[in-house]
Chain A
C-alpha cells in the first residue's frame, strides 16, 4: 500500500546516506599498517557489559605500569567504586587514594599544606606540565589515557594490538632512529618502549599475567575510563528502543486507521 512505498523510498535515502557516512568514517582512520586484532570484549554489542574482574586487573596494570608516564586526569578515585565500572569497594578506594598526596591550601605561615588524597580527588598527574612530560620522554608527550580509546579509530582493538604488537625485527626500508618498531602504530616508529612483558605485574586475583592478558585487561579498563556510563547508556537504550518500537506500531495503526477513509 502507498504508505509502504513512500516510507520505503525514505528508507532507501536514509540507507544511502548512512552508507556513505559509514564509509567516510572508516576511511578517515589513520593509516594503520596492520588490521587490528579483535579478541572480542564483553562490553561490545547492544547488550554488552564490562567484565568487572578484568577492569580491576586493568586498573592494576595502569597504576603499576602506565601511570608513571600517562595521566588519567578526567577520572577521580571515586569513579573506581561507582556502578558500571570495576566496582572496587569504597574502603578499597579510600585506601588507594590515601596512597597519594596532594598540596591543598596554605597554613598560617603561607607554607603549602600536604594532605593525602581522597576519593573525590582526581587521579594524580605524573608530570607538572606537558613540557616536563616531554623532557622526561625524549621529546615525546605520553598522552593522557582518559579518552585514548575514543580518540583512536576502533580504539580498544587498536590498543590491544599495539600493546602486544612490538616486534624486534625492523623492516629493512624503515628508518626509525632510536624509536621502537610497532607495526600497529601509524608509520611504525613509536616513541614508547614496549611497556608490558609477561609477568610485568602480579595480578591480585591470581590470574596469570601474560602479555596477552594484560593487554586485554588494560584495553578493557581504558575503554571503561573513556566512557564510564556505557552500561547505563545501553541499558537505557534498550528501554527507549523497546518503547519506541511499540509506539511506532501504535502510530502506524493510527495512521492507517485514519487514512482509510481518505481518497
Chain B
C-alpha cells in the first residue's frame, strides 16, 4: 500500500480542525488523494453505483414511510394514495420499487467482477466476507419490503418463504410462530416487517463502511490481479475515479430512468396490484426477479429441508471462497481454464434465474438440478482443483509494466529489480 502522499492542512482553520477531528484528513486520504490502480475498468465503478443505490433507497424509503400505513386493512390503499394523491408520490414509489431492482442488478455485476478478478483472495478476504453479509442483508431487506404493499404476491410470497422456517426439525414451528407473531402471515407480520425494513438499510450502511474501510487497508485489486508496487501503478482517486464513477453512474441512471418513466411495472408482477386475499392463492407464486435463482435452487431439490439448506447454502458457500480458491494468480485474465468454467457459471446463474419463474416440472426441473449441481461444483470442486493444477497464461511484470514475466508461472510478483521494458502504445 502506498503511503507516499501525506495530507497537510493548508490554512488556519484546517490546521485547527485537524488537531481536533481529522475530518479533512480523512476525506483527503480516502476520497481525494487515495492511490488507486490506474488500470481499473468500468466493472470497478459498481461500488460507487451501489452506494448511490443505497442512498436512493434510503431517501425514497423515508419519504414513502411518511405516507405508508403498515396495517393490513390500510396498506394497499395507502400505496394507491401515494401513487395518486401525494405530490410526486408516483415518482418516489417507482424510484423505490425499480431502485430495488437496480440495486440487485448492480450487486450481481459487482459480485461477478469479484469472482472474475479474484478480489476475494488474500489479503482481501474480509472485504469479500463483509460483502456477502451486505448481500444477505439486502435480500432480507428486499424480501420484507416486497411484503409491504400487501398485494397477492406480497402475501403469498411471504407465506411460502416464511413457511420454509418450519422445515427445521423440532424448533422450526416455534421459530415460525415467533417470526410471524401469529399462526399465519397477518397484521403483526406486516407491522414488524415494516419496522425491520426501515432498520436494516442503516445496518447495511454500517457494514458498507466496514467494507470500504477494509478495502482501504489493502488497497484495490485491479484487472491484472497483480498487486500495486509503487506510485507509478496508481493515480489519485480524485479527479480520475470520482469523475469516472460519476460517468458510469449517469449511464446507470439512464437505464434506471428508462424503467421509472417508460416501463415502471415490467420488473414486477401484475398480481401484486390485487389486494392480498388469504383465501385465494394465485396460480403461480413468483418472487421478484433477483430472488429467482435462489427460488430455482430451492425447488430443484425433492426434499423440502434439503431444498432450504441448499438455498441458504448457495450464499453461505460464498463466505468460504478465499479458502476454496487459493491459486496465487488472482485474475481470470491469466487463468484460461478458470475463465471457461466461470463463463459457464455465469450462464448457469442466468439459467437458474430463468427457471425460477417456471413450474418445477419436466425439462425445467431437470435443468434446475443440473444448474444447481454446477453452481455448487464450481465452488466446492472446480475451484480447489484448479488452484492446484492450473497453469496461468503469460503475465506482465506489473500494472505499469506490460513486459512478460518469464520468471515465475504461478506468482504475481517480480523477482529482483524491476525492469521496465519500453512501452510503445
Q: Which residues of B contact A6 (CB under 8 A)?
A: 41-43
Judged by a CB distance under 8 angstroms, whether B38 is at the interface is: yes
Q: Which residues of B contact A16 (CB under 8 A)?
A: 350
Complex interface residues of chain B between 220 and 272 (CB less than 8 A to chain A): 235, 239-240, 243-244, 246-247, 250-251, 253-255, 257-258, 260-262, 264-267, 269-271
Judged by a CB distance under 8 angstroms, whether B77 is at the interface is: yes
Whether A10 touches B261, Cβ cut-off 8 Å, given contacts A146-B80, A259-B244, is: no
Q: Which of B41, B240, B255, B266 contacts A258 (CB 8 A)?
A: B240
**Chain-B contact segment, one of A55-63, A101-109, A198-206, A249-257:** A249-257
Interface of B is mostly: helix
Judged by a CB distance under 8 angstroms, whether B286 is at the interface is: yes
Q: What's the nearest-Cβ distance from chain A to residue B370, in Å?
A: 17
Q: Which residues of A contact B38 (CB under 8 A)?
A: 262-263
Asked if A74 contacts B244 (CB within 8 A), the reply is no
Judged by a CB distance under 8 angstroms, whether A244 is at the interface is: yes
**Chain-B contact segment, one of A87-95, A214-222, A231-239:** A231-239
Complex interface residues of chain A between 130 and 150 (CB less than 8 A to chain B): 143, 146-147, 150
Judged by a CB distance under 8 angstroms, whether B341 is at the interface is: no
**Chain-B contact segment, one of A20-28, A110-118, A167-175:** A20-28
Q: What's the nearest-Cβ distance from chain B to residue A227, in Å?
A: 8
Q: What's the nearest-Cβ distance from chain B to residue A44, in Å?
A: 11
Whether A252 touches B84, Cβ cut-off 8 Å, given contacts A155-B270, A244-B254, A258-B240, is: no
Q: Which residue of chain B has the shortest Cβ distance to A148 in the bound complex?
A: B273
Judged by a CB distance under 8 angstroms, whether B289 is at the interface is: yes
Interface string of A1-44 (1 = CB under 8 A from B): 01100110110011011001111110111100000000000000
Asked if A236 contacts B273 (CB within 8 A), the reply is no
Asked if A251 contacts B84 (CB within 8 A), the reply is no
Interface string of B19-40 (1 = CB under 8 A from A): 0000000000000000000100
Whether A150 touches B284, Cβ cut-off 8 Å, given contacts A17-B105, A240-B257, is: no
CA gap between A259 and B42 in the complex, in Å? 13
Judged by a CB distance under 8 angstroms, whether A83 is at the interface is: no
Q: Which of A2, A23, A29 contacts B354 (CB 8 A)?
A: A23
Whether A262 touches B240, Cβ cut-off 8 Å, given contacts A28-B284, A234-B262, is: yes
Q: What's the nearest-Cβ distance from chain B to residue A79, in Å?
A: 8
Judged by a CB distance under 8 angstroms, whether B300 is at the interface is: no
Q: What's the nearest-Cβ distance from chain B to residue A74, in Å?
A: 5
Asked if A229 contacts B353 (CB within 8 A), the reply is no
Q: What's the nearest-Cβ distance from chain B to residue A123, in Å?
A: 13
Judged by a CB distance under 8 angstroms, whether B358 is at the interface is: yes
Interface string of B76-98 (1 = CB under 8 A from A): 01001001100000110010000
Whether A147 touches B273, Cβ cut-off 8 Å, given contacts A23-B354, A28-B284, is: yes
Size category of the binding interface on chain B: 35 or more
Judged by a CB distance under 8 angstroms, whether B62 is at the interface is: no
Q: Which of A10, A20, A30, A233 contacts B353 (CB 8 A)?
A: A20
Q: Which residues of B contact A30 (CB under 8 A)?
A: 283-284
Judged by a CB distance under 8 angstroms, whether A195 is at the interface is: no
Asked if A14 contacts B269 (CB within 8 A), the reply is no
CA gap between A14 and B254 in the complex, in Å? 12
CA gap between A255 and B240 in the complex, in Å? 7
Q: Which residues of A contact B208 (CB under 8 A)?
A: none
Q: Which residue of chain B has the shortest Cβ distance to A239 in the bound complex?
A: B261
Q: Which residues of B contact A125 (CB under 8 A)?
A: none
Judged by a CB distance under 8 angstroms, whether B388 is at the interface is: no
CA gap between A35 and B170 in the complex, in Å? 49
Judged by a CB distance under 8 angstroms, whether B292 is at the interface is: yes
Q: What's the nearest-Cβ distance from chain B to residue A76, in Å?
A: 9
Q: Which residues of A contact B251 (CB under 8 A)?
A: 7, 248
Asked if B261 contacts A234 (CB within 8 A), the reply is yes
Most chain B beta-carbon neighbours within 10 Å: one of A146, A152, A232, A255: A255
Q: What's the nearest-Cβ distance from chain B to residue A189, in Å?
A: 15
Q: Which residue of chain A has the shortest Cβ distance to B423 in the bound complex?
A: A263
Q: Which residues of A contact B246 (CB under 8 A)?
A: 251
Asked if A233 contacts B90 (CB within 8 A), the reply is yes
5 shortest A-B CB distances, which residue pairs? A237-B261, A151-B273, A251-B247, A6-B41, A6-B42
A-B contact pairs, 10 of them (CB 8 A): A6-B43, A10-B109, A28-B269, A28-B284, A226-B273, A232-B90, A248-B250, A251-B250, A255-B244, A259-B244
Given known contacts A9-B42, A248-B247, what 4 new A-B pairs fall within 8 Å (CB)? A17-B108, A229-B84, A247-B250, A255-B247
